[in-house]
Amino acid sequence: MSLHLSKREIKILLLLLDLEESVTTKELAETFKVSVRTIKYDLDNVRVWFKEQNVLLQSRRNKGIWLEIPDSERLTLKNEIIEVERFETYPDQELRVNQLIFRLLLASKCLTSQELADELQVSRNTIISDLDRVEEQIQLYNLALKRQSRQGFSITGNESKIRLLMEYITQKEITEYDIYQIMSYFVQSGQQKKMQEVHVGVNTIFQKIYQIALKEMTRLLDPSLFDQFNYAEILSITLRVAIAAARMQLHHTVGGYKMLTNQKVLEQKQELPFLLMKQVFDHYDLPLLADEYFYIYSDVFVANNQQDIVGLTEELIKDVSQEIDFPFYRDRQLFTNLFAHLSLRLTKKHLFINEYNPFVDDIKAKYPQLFSAIQLASQSDIVGSALLINDSFIAYIALHFLVAYEKNLHEVNVVRIVYVCSTGLGVTSLIEQKILEEVSNVDIAGFASVLNAVDVIEEKNPDLVLSIFPIEILNRPFVKVNPLPTEADLHSIQEEVNKILIHTKSGKVPRLIPRQQVKEKQGIEAESRDILVRTYVIYEELLKAFADKLTQEYKEAFLLHVMLMVHRITFDGQYENEGNIVKETLLAQQVLVGEIEQIFAKNDLMVNQAEITALLNYIREE
């Protein structure tokens, strides 16, 4: 294809294919933060590209531009653009820097700036400038750019750091379309197996090695393995085998030269990482070294194995709350959900960095402050986070925070009230009903007597205090009312509520305390009572089963986890088995796993292995 497109033109193409409705040049200019004139120049090339695909880009004055094509054609064009993006664009500096790093790491000798310029088809001055950026990036991995007079450039440093960097760059280059192609190839059967070449590490020895590793993985994969490994882990294992083979061909090993001694055992157990390593290493006549297998099979993020996930969860929530001045720490369900997510995520043996996350762009655009806060907190709190913390990882965590935030967004439009009445609280139902019927946008957070008013107000943290006594409340709106609110009282309450809401809409951060339901329907009430009783029974039995294995300081968190676990199972919302099962943990705690299954079965609930895996994270480490 002769037409070369800029990065921005590629993004405009993808945006138009995603949109069902029209978009104006002004809107595009605002989206890409450039002038309308610049967008019009970009659209000239965009129109030419669509014309080459026999697609008409519709346009109308005062309406904008749009496409009238079926979804199937949109998908085909998007896949075509992804290929164009990689090979038909003018590479920006970030892409060139990644290409330079890969070439330097996979070259058998030093490379001169002129050789690099010829390979990337840019000027020597551009390469010199790019090499400064290469040096900055590799320093993050404690690597060095070595300059040798009359010989050229090379990258030196610890082999494990070099491989981490290779893994990071490779996974950034692999697109969603590549992942789709690879996984489709994995699950196809028989003669139907056919895959387009994945263009990673182009013009290096890695490209062919990776292709062979993918083919060998396809031969080895069995559908039963998808419970142990999700697509990300399978891709990660394949990638590490290819990286190991590529580096060993250049005589760089990750450790010593001791041979792997338990090969027969691993073969009998049909350990997927070993089987793939053997096939690829045999293909290239490479020795099966013990340290190479440890690199392929074990967790690259070794430091995370020692991290206290409960403590990490608490720190993340606290740091994000402080950064954006929003009390997420009050939401215990956020703690439980985030703990479960991090437990499953950080205890995996194989992490694939470029995990597809369709929410990334939306979250970054709509909640930039939250996204940035989570990024900062993660980099600070997670041990060995350099490779792990990327947009996809942050976006998945952000979803948990957004659930807590959205759940309580109604607080922006609801004023929470504490009502201080006489020492007897017998008429509270009548007062509550009267206020809720006559005053809009309010919620009764609680009632107090004059004796415990200060404590209740501190606990409930309301927006407004109503009292039949003239009490002193600091920094809190207050309305004095009659024992049974009169029409005048109700009018005064409504006026104060309106003032508070106006203040809230002008920028005050909403208070993160879930609303308390005033009334429940009989059916829901009975069902919830049954769930509570069943949960308590299960919790008590699990405590006995775990006995001294349970970490005592996490007993409260364990209770909350069990409560939500029972709720998930009851309403068919268990964690999915795919990719969330740590087989080694289940085997190591085989007796306890059996007891857990019996406890739930006895209470008419079927618990899956993903839920059990999450529950076992509360076990005290020996």
In a domain, 551, yes or no: yes
Together in a domain, 482 and 561: no
Together in a domain, 98 and 175: no
CA triple 375-377-378, angle to 5 deg:
65
- Which range marks the domain in which residue 370 is found? 304-408
Using the predicted structure, report yes or no on whether residue 521 has a pLDDT greater than 50.
no
pLDDT band at 145; cut points 50, 70, 90: very high
Total domains, the chain: 6
Kind of pairing, strands 442-449 and 57-60?
unpaired
Together in a domain, 134 and 168: no
Residue showing tokens 């020492």: 423
Which distant-in-sequence residues (6+ apart) come within 8 Å of 469 by Cβ?
420, 450, 480
Q: What is the CATH number of the domain that holds 449?
A: 3.40.50.2300
Kind of pairing, strands 464-467 and 478-480?
parallel
Q: For the segment 226-254, what is each residue's pLDDT rounded down to a tens digit?
A: 656 666 778 888 999 999 999 999 999 99
The lowest-confidence range among 55-69, 196-210, 532-546, 587-601 is 196-210
Q: What is the CATH number of the domain that holds 386?
A: 1.10.1790
In a domain, 511, yes or no: no
Together in a domain, 491 and 415: yes
In a domain, 109, yes or no: yes
* Phi and psi angles of residue 478, each rounded to the nearest 5 degrees, phi first: -140, 135
Together in a domain, 82 and 168: no
Q: How many CB atoms lie under 10 A from the CB of residue 596?
A: 21
In a domain, 1, yes or no: no
The last residue of a domain, from among 130, 157, 184: 157
Nearest Cα to 465, choosing from 416, 394, 501, 529? 416
The last residue of a domain, from among 137, 157, 177: 157
The lowest-confidence range among 117-131, 246-260, 579-593 is 579-593
Together in a domain, 491 and 418: yes
- The winner for highest mean pLDDT among 246-255, 512-521, 584-593 is 246-255
Q: Which amino acid is at 166?
A: M
Angstrom distances, CA of residue 141 to CA of 107, 144, 159, 583: 19, 9, 11, 32
| pLDDT average, residue stretch 496-517 | 56
pTM for the full model? 0.54
Together in a domain, 138 and 49: no
Answer for the pair 350, 236: CB distance below 8 angstroms, yes or no: yes
Token duo for residue 507? 């920028």
Which distant-in-sequence residues (6+ apart) come within 8 Å of 472 by Cβ?
none
Amino acid 106: pLDDT:
93
Q: For the segment 336-345, what is each residue's pLDDT rounded down to a tens digit?
A: 888 877 876 6
